[in-house]
Structure 1
Amino acid sequence: MWRVTIILVLVSLTMAVDKSVIIIGSGISGYSAASRLIENGFDDVIILEAEDRIGGRINTIPFSDGFIDLGAQWVHGQVNNIIYEMTHEHFEFGSTPFVEVPFTFLFSNGTKADQELFRTISKINFDIFLALDETDTFTGSFGEMFLEVLGEVTMNDSFPVFKDLDLKIIETMKENAERFINGYCALKSWFDMSAKLSAQEDEAGGNLHNTWKKQGFKTVFDFISKKLPDPSQHIDIDSKVQLNKKVTNINYNVIDANSKAVITCEDGSSYEAKHVIFTPSLGVLKKYHESLFTPTLPEQKVLAIKTWGFGAAGKVFLEFDEPFWSEEGEPFVAYEFLWLDADKDEAKAYNREWMLGISAFYIVDEFPNMLEAYLGGPKINQFEASSDEKIIEDCMWALEKFLGKSLPKPKAMTRSKWLSNENFLGSYSYPSMDAERAGVGIKELAESINNDNGEPILLFAGEATDEKYPGNTHAGVRSGFRAADEIISSYQ
């Protein structure tokens, strides 16, 4: 009888199903994938994280009397936004009133612009942006299409604001529109982004600037792990994370259904798993895909990696002893910068050209003494290479120029450095003209690689792999769930 028992035990061991999963990256995609897997009985999960922290491009840090975000900051949308849907009944969001409160327009020589005129033109610009998001037949760049439409608008009698308007004013507003789009979409130039592919992307409805107040975007991880709203349902994901584990190679060259992928790290350690979910940024893929994967990735996936856009945006936070931007109790949300040629030349002469990528300094929700600048454009590398002292000096030079007076120095400053960080190499993806011409895109970026039995061995997640909302944090959650679900379904 004992022989039969031993044989049955041995048989059950040989029939045990291998559900081991290694997730590369502990950003919102990897964290979401782990949550879904563990919740569905996949306990053999390891997350390898190159940084010394969890979060990826969500980087919430203590600052002033709360937390601010050097990476993802707003929950963009409420309708069809998976982050908002999982949190809003248990978290009271704030909002940055970009739509409700008009910007204050200033010239770089210290004079205040005609507010009514510039707010009218700015509204027309914004309406053009919205209209272009619905047009997917233009075969050209977003910048080309915007300028073409704006040119038609300025010649249209239905827009009397442009009648007899100084061409320099129109040119200034064109430049501001480009600064806004470059910063918003993490572009070096709006001529790099495909108008057609951009219009094919979706946007969650409702308020696009929901804030986490003083708690920061890190709060979302408590909801993904179900620590909130009910701690008794908490899924322990953090214990699965191994920090300072930079992956240098993923050998997914499986021979048969029982083979495992082998993951090698920079510190010499190695891991094996039946499934690998790769979540680092498209920037990392662009630079390292040839050395990261053995064998090399499929041709169409490589083409998509090379051609789909991935850019960098920058942030600066300045904290002052008290605000100097409220005038006579009027509502204030932002100073919009209108650069004059002489001041642009001065910025270039003193290595402050990165400042020309800033369209505005604006308030930070729940931090009454703080201003924030968001920038894009071709000089992000100059911004990141500058010392903290020079960043403060440059910001104050610009603010004093535009306000036409001396200002108190900030008591604290912090800023982002996404482009120069080898574990990110930028901020988020965008649909490029190169991708439009190559005829490849998110489908190829997201496609899994299967073994001979059709089981997924190498899967890809991250904001750049979500076909509906790329470039957004809710795309990261969706893609992590998608990859996890693909693994789960392969066992059903």
Structure 2
Amino acid sequence: MEEADIIILGAGAAGLIAACELASGYKVLVLEAQERVGGRVKTIEKADGFFEMGPEFIHGDAKLTRALLKEAGLSVTPSAGRMMYVANGKWFEEDGETEGWDELIKMMEKEKEDKTLSEFLQKHFNGDEYADLRHQAIMFAEGFDLADADRVSIKSLYKEWKDQGDSDERINEGYSALMNFLAEKAVAAGAEIRTGEVIRQIDWEEGDVTVYTNDETKYGASKLIITVPLAVLGLSIGPSAINITPPLHEHVHAIDDIGLGNVIKIYCLFDEQLWPEDTGFIFSGESIPTWWTQLPVRNHVLTGWAGGSRAERLRSLGEDGIRETAIHSLSVIFNRSTSEISDALVDIEVFESATETFALQAYTYSTPTSGAARKLFAGPVENTLFFAGEGFYDGPFGGTVEAALVSGRDCAKLIRSVS
């Protein structure tokens, strides 16, 4: 059996930064199920540049992410272009916030007790005059946060929505370039990273952990950091399920208090520009409602996005059905026949977060009871098992790479403080 001081399950953002922080003082072994590092970050190369199958934007003042980008020598470009809305075949540019939005944000701030978005809207914005505001709030929560309005916390939404004017940026070299930098940094500091190591079993007692892979390889350590996505951690059967003995019943039950969001993302390359000049984002009421260009980079690429319940409904169609739905959505948006859209398509690719074997989700969102659940995961189990990742993070950058990085860094600090 191979031994290390600390084993880290998962070479995503949280696992990699934890390895960077701990490798100088401990023998660190990172075990990753996939044949690559990065976790849910997945940049693929296309003829016209990069396409992000996973996270794409840096949202707001993500201090740790930006510090690491500077250290890695990577550059960013702010997204650009006009926000366009399409309804009843007509295009119009956003001319300000939805009527009543400022009032909604102020009421969120004043609300003393946390509650779900549905409960909040029912309490404060139930009249017919607020129908459009309710619709926009629910669509924004579902589309941006991948959240169920009947579950998502208004306190968490307030933290995000109050600063929604902050710019979003893309990493010019691709998000995977940052993950590769962290992996190289961790290895240079002395950590070992092994990919293609699918974990099926964890046996543990205080101060001693044994990890078993699918091919019966055993690894031992005195501490284990678990950074797998919550959807995987809560799985009892399946190719990515991990059996933990003795079981962590309280922790597994706590996962139910954290929302697991899913998304379908679609890459479309056309042989011509179908959208008006300087279009950045396109919002519609179609089955795949949200699309964006790569501005300020000028090319013929559109990215489609359907989150939350829309993604769940689309999943039943299968990949071919999702492609057909994308083409139909675009035909309505651009007022062209489906055959015209199909003829203009050079390439189309579908990404479904729920079908990624070692993720089974996109990112998490907070419910009114998530705080207690995340507090449980924030502490070690008998100073032996530790948790890190965006799903365990409790702060203003929920559901982002920044959340994963901060969680991984803080977990490493915790281990140093208790060792």
Residue 67 of structure 1 aligns with an amino acid whose one-letter code is F
Shift in Å, 1:94 = 0.8
The match for 1:336 is: 283
CA distance in 2 between partners of 1:204 and 1:271 (Å): 45
What does 1:25-104 align with in structure 2 at a 5 Å threshold?
25-38=10-23, 40-42=24-26, 44-78=27-61, 81-88=63-70, 90-97=73-80, 101-104=81-84
3-state SS of the aligned residue for 2:18?
A: helix
Q: For residue 413 of structure 1, give the secondary structure of its aligned residue in structure 2.
A: strand
8 Å CA contact 1:128, 1:150 repeated in 2? no
Distance 1:29 1:125, change over 3 A: farther
Quote the offset at 1:135 in angstroms.
Answer: 4.7
Q: Match for residue 442 of structure 1?
A: 374
Counterpart position of 2:193: 241
Question: Counterpart in 2 of 1:137?
Answer: 112
* Letter in structure 2 aligned against 1:334: F
- After TM superposition, give the deviation of residue 131 of structure 1 in Å: 4.1
Answer yes or no: is the 8 Å Cα contact 1:59–1:218 preserved in 2: yes
- Give 1:458's aligned residue: 385
Cα offset, 1:322, TM superposition: 2.0
> 2:294 is matched with which residue?
364
From the superposition, tell whether residues 55 and 129 of structure 1 become closer, same or farther in structure 2 (CA, over 3 Å): farther
Unaligned segments of structure 2, at least 5 residues: none
1:87 CA drift (Å): 2.1
Which residue is equivalent to 1:292? 243
> Which residue is 2:151 aligned to?
192
For 1:21-64, what per-residue CA distance to the aligned partner results, in whole angstroms no more than 9, with x for missing partners?
Answer: 110001000011111111x232x221111112211111111123
SS at match of 1:248: strand
Instruction: Give the C-alpha shift of residue 417 in structure 1.
Output: 2.0
Offset at residue 335 of structure 1 (A): 2.3
In 1, Cα distance between equivalents of 2:105 and 2:67? 24
Amino acid at match of 2:66: Y
What's the counterpart of residue 211 of structure 2? 263
Give the TM-score normalised by structure 1: 0.74
Q: For residues 161 and 136 of structure 2, what CA distance do their matches in structure 1 show?
A: 25
* CA positional deviation for 1:178: 2.4
1:441 is paired with a residue of what secondary structure?
helix
Q: CA deviation at 1:382?
A: 4.6
Quote the Cα distance in structure 2 between the aligned partners of 1:423 and 1:103.
Answer: 34
The residue identity in structure 1 corresponding to 2:188 is D
Q: Residues 420 and 388 from structure 1, CA distance in 2 versus in 1: closer, same or farther, beyond 3 angstroms?
A: closer
Deviations 1:230-285 (A, max 9, x none): xxxx843797222221212211123xxxx521111122211101110000011112
> What TM-score comes out, normalization by structure 2 length?
0.86
What secondary structure sits across from 2:51 in the alignment?
A: strand
CA offset at residue 316 of structure 1? 0.9
Structure label with greater radius of gyration: 1
Question: What is the alpha-carbon distance in structure 2 between the residues aligned to residue 368 and residue 125 of structure 1?
Answer: 36
Q: Does 1:470 align with 2:405?
A: no
Contact 1:24 1:47 in 2 (8 A): yes
Offset at 1:124?
3.4
Shift of 1:151: 4.8
The total of aligned residue pairs comes to 407
Judged with a 3 Å threshold, the aligned counterparts in structure 2 of structure 1 residues 418 and 41 are, in CA distance, closer, same or farther, namely same
CA apart distance, 1:184:
1.1
Q: Secondary structure in 1 aligned to 2:205? A: coil
Instruction: Report the more deviating stretch, 384-393 or 399-408.
Output: 384-393
Sequence identity, in percent? 22
- The 1-side partners of 2:352 and 2:341 are apart by 26
State the alpha-carbon separation in 2 of the partners of residues 250 and 204 from structure 1: 41
1:394 aligns with 2:352: no
Contact 1:133 1:199 in 2 (8 A): yes
Residue pair 1:317, 1:371 contacting (<8 A) in 2 also? yes
Q: Which residues of 2 match residues 404-419 of structure 1 at below 5 A? A: 404-406=335-337, 407-409=340-342, 410-419=345-354
Q: Deviations over 1:186-205 (max 9, x none)?
A: 22x32221223544679989
- Give the unaligned 5+ runs of structure 1: 1-17, 156-169, 228-233, 340-354, 451-455
Instruction: Give yes or no for the alignment of 1:112 onto 2:90.
Output: yes
> 1:23 & 1:58 partners in 2: Cα distance?
18
Cα distance, 1:337 vs. partner? 0.9
The code of the aligned residue for 2:145 comes to C
Q: Counterpart of 1:343?
A: none
- In the alignment, the residues of structure 1 paired with residue 149 and residue 112 of structure 2 have an alpha-carbon distance, to the nearest angstrom, of 17
Q: In structure 1, what is the Cα distance between the partners aligned to 2:256 and 2:407?
A: 20
- Matches of 2:234 and 2:162, distance apart in 1: 26
* Post-superposition offset of 1:206: 7.8
Q: Is the 8 A contact 2:40 2:362 kept in 1?
A: yes
Corresponding residue for residue 99 of structure 2: 124
Q: Does the 8 Å CA contact 1:383/1:391 hold for their aligned counterparts?
A: yes
The correspondence for 1:302, drawn from 252, 275, 283, is 252
Task: Tell whether the 8 Å contact from 2:20 to 2:191 is kept in structure 1 after alignment.
Answer: no
Contact 2:142-2:149 at 8 Å conserved across structures: yes
* RMSD (Å) for aligned C-alpha atoms: 3.1
1:325-368, Cα deviation, whole Å (9 max, x unpaired): 12xx4x311222135xxxxxxxxxxxxxxx2xx33211124352
CA distance in 1, matches of 2:274, 2:209: 58
